[in-house]
Amino acid sequence: MSAISIERYFNQDCLIPALKAIGHSKQMMAREGLLPHFEEYYEVHLILDGTVNWWVESEKYALRPGSVFVTKPGEIHGSVQEILEPCTLNWLQVDASLLADPTAEIALQTLPVRHWYGANELFEQIDLMLAEIRHPKQDSERMLSALLHLFIARLLRQQRNPSTLPALPPKFAQLLKIIETQVAEDQTISMESLGQLSGLSRSRLFQLFDQYIGQSPISYVRTLRIKRAQLLLQQPNLPITTIAAQLGFSSSQHFATVFKRITGVTPRAFRKLRPAQPDLAEVTQTKGHLE
């Protein structure tokens, strides 16, 4: 299976003038080279799985599965550290001035927020648009126009009452908080302990993590440990081998492999890119990890 799968169409290939670009991408590993840029049109991203960190102008956003993310024409944006983390997303660019409904352009111009949750209600329209473009028929332009206007209408309905948090089941939300605390304290985390803490079966845990996080429990804990590693690497006198042991990796090589797969760079390269933070708390010895 390929590490990266991308399908995208631009301009005339999109069949109708208002639709300037559309695509779907799935990547199993982090990808470097997502440089700061801006678009001439409105751009909408739907995050289907994975967690990505993007910025627009001076604001940063941590996007989880279910995120809807909108940038306006001329807004400079990109990914934190110019790296796109593993994720699956649908996206499109639209020239709002060419929409049949002129009030839609005004509504897009005055969007009060650019990020909310509701991608699961919108991605079907993009999938249907991609199907029309992929295999055009005599009436595909009419169908694409209808699908695009339906997509924009649903998008604007969502933003009038945007959800700022994913609708997590209470037990699962509590479990995520516990996991974050345990990772920060370098505690041992196992599938058995997660089941005991949540009162959920192993199969139900995998189902919830897949639905709301876009990762398995093992991958989620590993991702949190790598985020903790990014903090520890800013302590210049802390050896990378010590950090690897601190986080429960079997070796520094294993740690480096996982770190690069998630962040796109090696621990050593990351340390060179980030300024030192000598005031971070002293590191203690690891107590375990989830494998």
Which CATH fold would you assign to the domain 4-160? Answer: Jelly Rolls (2.60.120)
List, in order, residues 6 or more apart from 246 with CB less than 8 Å away.
186, 232, 283, 284, 285, 286
List, in order, residues 6 or more apart from 58 with CB less than 8 Å away.
none
Q: What is the mean pLDDT of residues 239-266?
A: 88
pLDDT tens digit sequence for 24-50:
999 888 887 678 999 999 999 999 888
Of all residues in the chain, the percent with pLDDT exceeding 70 is: 90
CA distances 121 to 23, 144, 164, 175, Å, are: 17, 18, 15, 26
Neighbours of 204 (CB within 10 A): 15
For the chain, which residues make up each domain, given as ranges?
Answer: 4-160, 170-273
Domain 170-273 top-level CATH class = mainly alpha
Q: Does the global pTM surpass 0.85?
A: no
Q: Is residue 213 scored above 80 in pLDDT?
A: no
pLDDT grade for 281, boundaries at 50, 70 and 90: very low
pLDDT tens digit sequence for 151-186:
999 999 998 877 766 667 778 888 888 998 888 887
